[in-house]
Amino acid sequence: MPAALGQGKSAPATPPPAAQQRDSIAPWEGLPVRSISYRGVSTDRLRPLPRRFEKQIGAPLDREFIEQSLHQLFATGLFETIEVTAAPEQGGVALVFRGQPRTFIGTVTVTGAKGATLNTQLLRASQLTAGARFTSGKVDQAIEQMRQTMAANGFHSPAIAHILTEHPREQLVDIAFQVISGPQARIGSVQVSGDPGMTVEQFRRHAHLKTGARVHHETANRALAGVLKVYQNEGRLEAEIKLESQKYDPKEKHTDFRFSANRGPLVQVRVTGASISPQRLKQVIPVFEEGTVDDDLLNEGNRRLRDYFQRMGYAEVKVEHRRQAASPAQVVIVYSVQLGPRTRVKSVSITGNHYFDSATLKDLISVHTADAIDRHGVYSQALLASDVGALQAVYNNNGFPWAKVTAETHNEAVKPGKTAPLAVIYHIDEGKQVRVGSVKIEGAAHADPARLLALLNTTPGQLLSPQNLAGDRDTLLTDYLSRGFDQATVDIAQQVEAADPDKVDVAFHITEGQQIFVRKVLLTGLHFTRPSTIARAITLHPGDPLNQTALAETQRNLYDFALFNKVDTAIENPTGKEIYKTVLLQTTEARRWALSYGFGFEVQTGAPQNNCGANCSPNGQTNISPRVLLDITRNNLFGREQSVSLRSNYGLLEQQVSLLFQNPHFEGNRDIGLTLTGGYANSRDVTTYVASRLEGAMRWSQNFTTPSLGLSRANTFIYEFDFRRVKVAAASLQVYPAAIQQLSTAVRVAGPSITWVRDTRDSPLDAHRGTYTSLQEFLSLDHMGAQAEFNRVDVSNSSFYSFGRDRFVLARNTRYGQERAFGPANSELLPLPERLYAGGATSLRSFPINAAGPRDPQTGFPIGGAGTLVNSTELRLPPPTLPWFGNTLSFVLFHDMGNVFANAGDIWSSAIRIHQPSRDSCTSALTDPQNNLDGPTVSIGQLGKCSFNYFTHAAGLGLRYHTPVGPIRLDFSYDLNPPVYPVLGNNGGLFPNPADYYMGQASHFNFFFSLGQAF
């Protein structure tokens, strides 16, 4: 080594023999480092460590650097093994860190196993997690676990092969398991030891162990549960049953089961001193649900019985139990109930409160006084304890850390058999109120403390609230997580100010940890979907901080496409201290063909009739209207988020077939959707006629996922162009003969439409609060190909208010519609199917479906109108607890009013009219039928002299049976002022015999059975 290099030591030309050299670093220590290189893992992958190590170039080599470098490089998790070697270079030393790169698990797939879910079960059993370190040992273990899963499913000799596909550049390996299931075991012999109390054959039957049936993963559990259920039904709550062994016989391909069962004594639970139904007893006493008897459960039974009777109005109830062994074969558990006097919660009061008024606090408590619904009030010790906790929490969270809440009850002495008034008093000792002094952020090296402070709810001067502090800690953690600090922690320190003991200084101390960035986003599983289709959904990009929120959002976005059955996210090398990490997005595409079908029905009064000819009734008939749906959809069309569907709907009220093209996110834009439809429909939802419709439409929808132009997410706009040819079947038309030809002529309707929807409801299926508004404007124009020119505005607004702790809901819906024809005289008649209608389960319930408003002057059939105003108000009551139904059934009181009018201008003058005007004119038509056709001619044609310009009012009662998919509805309505109308003939002309003329009247009573709330 030339001395000119300025180092005191030179590289050993010939390293000393190993025997003399105890320390391999010593000979190189102090030599200048000339170069550092890496083998096994690319320098790029190791960044930014190599950049840090470059500072060592030129500096003398020291032991500490070697040790630290090895530790840091190994800690990246990218090496299986690593060593550092030295070689002489230009009088110094060239260091090489070399090692075997670590491999991580990429995608794991399992194919070939028989059964609908077995591949998924095997995948789960393999416990191979994407992104985690790959070792051959893990694969061996996975195969072993998969074999066990196969065996549990009756496959005892499966062949499990696996193919490893390496991606050395990404240090990933994909594992594809291919399974050949082999024969599935059948149920063989069953042996039962112990005292089962049943024959083996009976045991087999209860255990569902039919000889020769296939064994699957639920066989053993189902057997145990089946027999246990029998014991429980017999009241043998101490029964024990165990699967001793499950042996597979490879020759016979049978699995033989051996059980031990001891039925134990009959356990009888009795209640003395009070009456309770057997069903309720089973619900209240936990030994039935748990299927076992122990002291804890029996004591829990005491508490539950006490609460039950307290809620029934026995505040002083006492419950004890004793266990009696009547005989070895029978155990009797007796709950002795001392009801005490029946109580009625007379008053609930709060004392000692200064900061909150009593009304505010009473809203928080569950115990309440007797009222019309709860005749004894609501009281139990459990509720009392829960109320104390709720009051305590509200005080603590409003700056009263030392607040104390206690509850007290007072019974008034009464004569035996009388109801004792119960007074419940909550005593509050508020203590001192404390405010926040200062708020500090400490330890935020990678964030502006001012920005973080702005995120917090806790501010100086504010009341000290543990809830706010906890929320603020979560806010800070979320902020750090979103910036890639996945190890960040936040500690909160509170210190009472020395100068002012009413103030507490708050410090959020942040330990940031290492910030992690995205190296690469690896998307796998796309076979048909174009990467460009989903590119916008991926909100994480190389170089970005590894934002956990963005990762979850990306997953959600991908699911939103409805193109994937599964989207998994993982981080490669999750435990390694790599600063730049690879994000794995593993998708499984959904089937491209989808078939869906359904069946439904409606039952209602006044349903339109079919094939009744001259015998049709203007009021329709009570009928069931079944409906069958069948849709075939091709998703992922051309690898894009678009689909084509053939939809068909066959029912009594409507038959429809349509072809639908949907692109819900046009050009990847989350807010713009395109739908093209075309199809044919035949409908009979108005009792007057059967209409057919050949139609096509192009529809653009616009959502607002990010607030823009002051519009929130609740808003949607739909821009549409409709073209349709509507035709009414002449033979079906129930109008006076002269109008038949004109009304049955096929008419083209074409033009633009715009719809605005604003939906702030909390739940579309059963809203408790919020509003829903829709406004639709449709213009049918001649120069767009229409033969009937008209303008239609249809506005609907619903509002929902909940009160009484969200138990009651006051719901209201108002619909206003108006239609105006224009253009040449021959196009001014509004086609029948394009008119405004009202009546039915989701409209004006005083009428059958679409039966409100003007009627034909001769036949009395409804003919729709050019204006409508309908208002429905509902009081949705909380579900009472009923036998059999529990809390699933609730009641609704409703009032509907409104009507359909020949002219929109008639609406407002009719709103205050509650009686049908000029009923005499309707009556006079019976004596002078020809004169009845001399009424005004408007856009809905020739009217009679009978006027329908008034509001009908209907009151009703509804039942709602609540299901997970929304309520099933049964509404009964009574129309207080139904219209009358003359019936002078049918579509063949006037009745030949004037004696057949009669005065028809819409029914007072209607009922509707359907799904969902009315609005």
Partner 1 sequence: MFHHHTTRAARSHLWPATLILCLLPVSILAQTPAAAPAVLDRVVAVVNNHAILSSDVDEEIRLAVLDSGATGGGALTPRRALDQLISRALIQQQIRAEDALATQPPHEQVEARIADIRRETPACVRQNCASEAGWKAFLAAHDLTEKQVENYITLRLEILSFIELRFRQGIRITAEEISNYYNYTLLPQYAPGEPIPALDRVSSRIQEILLQHQVNVLFDGWLKNLRKQGDIEILDPSLEAPPAQHGAAYTGKEASQ
- The amino acid sitting at 616 is C
- Give, for 770, the enclosing helix (H) or strand (E): strand 770-780
Q: Can you give the C-alpha Rg of the chain in angstroms?
A: 39
Between residue 574 and residue 613, which ones bind partner 1 under the rule CB under 8 A? 575
Does the footprint of partner 1 cover residue 23 (CB under 8 A)?
A: yes
Q: Residue 999 CB: number of other CB atoms within 10 A? A: 15
Query: Any bridge partners for residue 800, and if so which?
Result: 770, 811
| Residue 87 amino acid letter | A
Residues 6+ apart with CB under 8 A from 100: 40, 79, 80, 81
Binding residues for partner 1, total number by CB under 8 A: 38
Which of 44/83 has CB closer to partner 1? Answer: 83
- Alpha carbon distances (Å) from 366 to 370, 378, 383, 386, 505: 12, 7, 6, 8, 35
Output 103 or 843, the one with its CB closest to partner 1.
103
- Which of 94, 423 has the CB closer to partner 1? 94
Phi and psi at 513, nearest 5°, equal 75, -175
Minimum CB distance to partner 1, residue 7 (Å)? 17
Distance CA 154, CA 213 (A): 11
Q: Quote the CA–CA distance of 883 and 457 in Å, as a whole number.
A: 47
Helix (H) or strand (E) holding 559: helix 548-560
Task: Please count the other Cβ atoms lying within 10 Å of the Cβ belonging to residue 369.
Answer: 20
Task: Rule CB under 8 A: say whether 224 interacts with partner 1.
Answer: no
Cα gap 546→568, rounded to integer Å: 16
Binding mask of the shown chain, residues 52 to 71, with x at each position contacting partner 1 by CB under 8 A: -----------x--xx--xx
19 binds partner 1 (CB under 8 A): yes
Residue 84 engages partner 1 in binding (rule: CB under 8 A): yes
Element (H, E) at 1000: strand 998-1001
Q: Decide whether 68 or 117 has the Cβ nearer to partner 1.
A: 68
- Closer to partner 1 by Cβ: residue 74 or 257: 74
Q: Which residues within the stretch 97-126 sit at the binding site for partner 1 (CB under 8 A)?
A: 99
Residue with the two structure tokens 């605005």: 756
Stretch that binds partner 1, among 94-102, 231-239, 706-714, 767-775 (CB under 8 A): 94-102
Residue 87, interface with partner 1 (CB under 8 A)?
yes
- The answer to whether the peptide bond before residue 878 is cis (omega within 30 degrees of 0) is no
- Contacts to partner 1 from residues 25-54, by CB under 8 A: 25-28
Residue 61 C-beta: closest distance to partner 1, Å: 9
Interatomic CA distance for residues 441 and 453, integer angstroms: 7
Which of 51, 52, 81, 320 binds partner 1 (CB under 8 A)? It is 81
Binder to partner 1 among 2, 22, 245, 706 (CB under 8 A)? 22
Which residue from 78, 86, 567, 821 is in contact with partner 1, where contact means CB under 8 A? 86
What is the nearest approach in angstroms of partner 1 to the Cβ of residue 523?
29
Query: Which CB, 84 or 612, lies closer to partner 1?
Result: 84
Residue 1 sits in the site that holds partner 1 (CB under 8 A): no
Q: Which of 1, 5, 96, 612 binds partner 1 (CB under 8 A)?
A: 96
Q: Are strands 564-571 and 580-589 parallel, antiparallel or unpaired?
A: antiparallel
Q: Which is nearer to partner 1, 83 or 996 (CB)?
A: 83
Give me the least distance between CB of 94 and partner 1, in Å please. 8
Show the tokens assigned to 247: 């042996």
Judged by CB, which is closer to partner 1: 493, or 754?
493
Figure out which of the listed residues 30, 35, 56, 75 binds partner 1, where binding follows CB under 8 A.
Answer: 75
Alpha carbon distance 155, 160 (integer Å): 12
Shortest Å distance, C-beta 382 to partner 1: 37
Looking at the Cβ atoms of 75 and 775, the one nearer to partner 1 is 75
| Rounded-to-integer distance, Cα 381 and Cα 362, Å | 17
Of 79 and 231, the one with the shorter C-beta distance to partner 1 is: 79
The reply to whether 21 sits near partner 1 by the rule CB under 8 A is: yes
d(CA 483, CA 447): 10
Per-residue burial over 652-666, b if 16 or more Cβ lie within 10 Å, else e, is bbbbbebebebbbbb
Q: Give 6-41 as a DSSP string.
A: --SS---SSPPPGGG-S-SSGGGTTSBEEEEEEESS
User: In this complex, which beta carbon is closest to partner 1, that of residue 138 or of residue 699?
Assistant: 138
Query: Which DSSP category does 625 fall into?
Result: E
| Residue placing its CB nearer to partner 1 in the complex, 71 or 418 | 71
Given candidates 77, 399, 864, 865, which one binds partner 1 under the rule CB under 8 A?
A: 77
745 binds partner 1 (CB under 8 A): no
Distance CA 450, CA 457 (A): 13
83 binds partner 1, rule: CB under 8 A: yes
Any contact of residue 626 with partner 1 (CB under 8 A)? no
514 binds partner 1 (CB under 8 A): no
Interaction with partner 1 in 536-575: which residues (CB under 8 A)? 575
> Shortest distance, CB of residue 147 to partner 1, whole angstroms?
24
**Please, what is the minimum distance in Å from the beta carbon of residue 134 to partner 1?**
14
How far apart (Å, rounded) are the C-alpha atoms in residues 619 and 849?
Answer: 9
Min dist. Cβ of residue 66 to partner 1 (A): 5
Among residues 31 and 187, whose Cβ is nearest to partner 1? 31
Structure tokens at 1015: 């609005």
Residues that bind partner 1 (CB under 8 A): 12-19, 21-28, 63, 66-67, 70-71, 74-75, 77, 79-87, 94-96, 99, 575
